[in-house]
Chain A
Amino acid sequence: EMQLVESGGGLVKPGGSLRLSCAASGFSFSVSSINWVRQAPGKGLEWVSSIDPTSNYIYYADSVKGRFTISRDNAKNSLSLQMNSLRVEDTAMYYCVRLAGGNPIYYFDYWGQGTLVTVSS
């Protein structure tokens, strides 16, 4: 069974840092592009970042560019999101999501259950 399991969420003060992790199993992680998508409480979905299988192609939403860093370890089937200079508006559930399709048609076919990040003083 395919699984994406996020961890690392929690409460952090504005300006602080947090590192999210995503453990993958049940599919070929090393040939899959993986993304982070977030959802603020009571709000809609927002794409955050994408990383291709070789880590050669990495993209960020403008709202997190320069503050967040996505990375992966194919040997460990794991994905990370280093979040620095956190803001109150970064408060959200963060989902680890597999990206399916091919250029230029991409969609999210499998989602983790999410990890909650709360930025508050």
Chain B
Amino acid sequence: SYELTQPLSVSVALGQTARMTCGGNNIGSRSVHWYMQKPGQAPVLVIYRDTNRPSGIPERFSGSNSGNTATLTISRAQSGDEADYYCQVWDTNFAGVFGGGTKLTVL
């Protein structure tokens, strides 16, 4: 089955840009989605189909996908952005596949 690889943690200074990666074999040929999960809460969709933001998600959140890496970028990082972030694709055997998640810390 398809595998997604995410770094365990990423740190960013307040107000700077955070970039979180999601690696997979030729992931650029797939559609990648991103979820944010704060402690004790359910995940929330923040990017779908590589680059699209659901309503209510700030423009500071953006996504890209090419080659073997998809990236979630958060501009002007705020303390409220601290959370776990998961990437996700849909496998050919009709199954959801998640990355292991990245913990974002805003310093």
Residues of A within 8 A of B (CB): 35, 37, 44-47, 50, 57, 59, 61, 95, 100-101, 104-109, 111-114
Cβ of B26 within 8 Å of any chain A Cβ, yes or no, is no
Q: How many pairs, one residue from A and one from B, have CB atoms within 8 Å of each other in the complex?
A: 64
Alpha-carbon distance A51/B73, docked complex (angstroms): 32
Considering only CB atoms, which chain B residue lies closest to A109 in the complex? B45
A45-B98, A57-B94, A101-B48 known; 20 other A-B pairs, CB under 8 Å? A35-B96, A37-B96, A44-B100, A45-B88, A46-B98, A47-B96, A47-B97, A47-B98, A50-B94, A50-B95, A95-B43, A101-B49, A104-B90, A105-B90, A107-B33, A107-B90, A108-B88, A108-B96, A109-B48, A114-B42
Residues on B with C-beta less than 8 A from A95 are 42-43
Task: Name 28 interchain pairs, CB-CB below 8 A, sorted by A.
Answer: A35-B96, A37-B96, A44-B100, A44-B101, A45-B35, A45-B37, A45-B98, A46-B98, A47-B95, A47-B98, A57-B94, A59-B94, A59-B95, A95-B43, A101-B31, A104-B90, A105-B90, A106-B90, A107-B48, A107-B49, A107-B88, A108-B35, A108-B43, A108-B88, A109-B48, A111-B42, A111-B43, A111-B44
